[in-house]
């Protein structure tokens, strides 16, 4: 009860990793054992490219989690995540935000407007801390952006809806975002 899981993900090696009670945890199936990390954590746990698990803090710092060593290794820095008043509804859950890390290192944030479709938007954060790019609402009139997942390269898929899922026959829309990859010499 003390460590109720609120987020889980698996890495490329099949390890189950997660976030519970403000602590990262690592499940070892061969021993049927859960190891609770000594690292306090207040942010997001993100599955990332190559089956790695990442920890993102509100200030934009991204770390790769090495569960065998129980350490976070800095991987990138982004601009701080913009939270509107009321977005933070418990200490460890963030209302109306979905995040995904792409294979090109961009962080995509889907922000649900909840009651105002004008506040619904996709944000793209590039490594290095530059200001994020606001792409606006991908589906006109949608309030909720959910089920964000990374495809190959820089493609991201998501779902949107006008109302909360499960209410009557609420239509859901599938959308995708693909950004051109910059060429460097």
Question: Domain range spanning residue 172?
Answer: 97-178
pLDDT in tens, 61-80: 999 888 878 888 999 999 99
pLDDT in tens, 153-182: 788 999 888 876 555 667 788 889 887 755
Q: Are residues 31 and 102 in the same domain?
A: no
Overall domain count for the chain: 2
User: What's the predicted TM-score (pTM) here?
Assistant: 0.79
Q: Are residues 130 and 161 in the same domain?
A: yes
Task: Tell me how far apart the alpha carbons of residues 57 and 110 are, in angstroms, rounded to a whole number.
Answer: 16
What phi-psi label fits residue 68: left (phi over 0), alpha (psi between -120 and 50 degrees) or beta? Answer: alpha
Q: Which of 46, 57, 38, 50 is nearest to 18 (CA)?
A: 46
Does residue 134 register a pLDDT over 90?
yes
- Is position 86 within any domain? no
Residue 78: predicted pLDDT? 95
Residue 141 is encoded by which pair of tokens? Answer: 């009139």
């Amino acid at each position: 009860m003390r460590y109720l899981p609120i987020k889980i993900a698996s890495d490329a090696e099949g390890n189950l990793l997660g976030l519970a009670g403000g602590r990262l945890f690592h499940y070892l199936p061969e021993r049927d054992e859960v190891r609770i990390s000594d690292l306090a954590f207040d942010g997001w746990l993100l599955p990332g490219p190559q089956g790695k698990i990442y920890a993102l803090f509100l200030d934009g710092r991204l770390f790769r989690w090495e569960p065998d060593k129980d350490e976070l290794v800095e991987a990138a820095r982004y601009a701080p995540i913009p939270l509107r008043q009321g977005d933070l509804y418990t200490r460890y859950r963030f209302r109306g935000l979905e995040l995904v890390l792409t294979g090109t290192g961009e962080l995509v944030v889907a922000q649900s407007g909840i009651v105002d479709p004008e506040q619904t938007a996709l944000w793209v954060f590039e490594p290095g801390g530059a200001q994020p790019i606001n792409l606006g609402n991908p589906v006109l009139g949608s309030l909720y952006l959910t089920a964000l997942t990374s495809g190959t390269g820089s493609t991201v898929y998501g779902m949107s809806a006008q109302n909360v899922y499960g209410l009557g026959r609420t239509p859901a829309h599938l959308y995708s975002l693909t950004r051109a990859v910059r060429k460097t010499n």
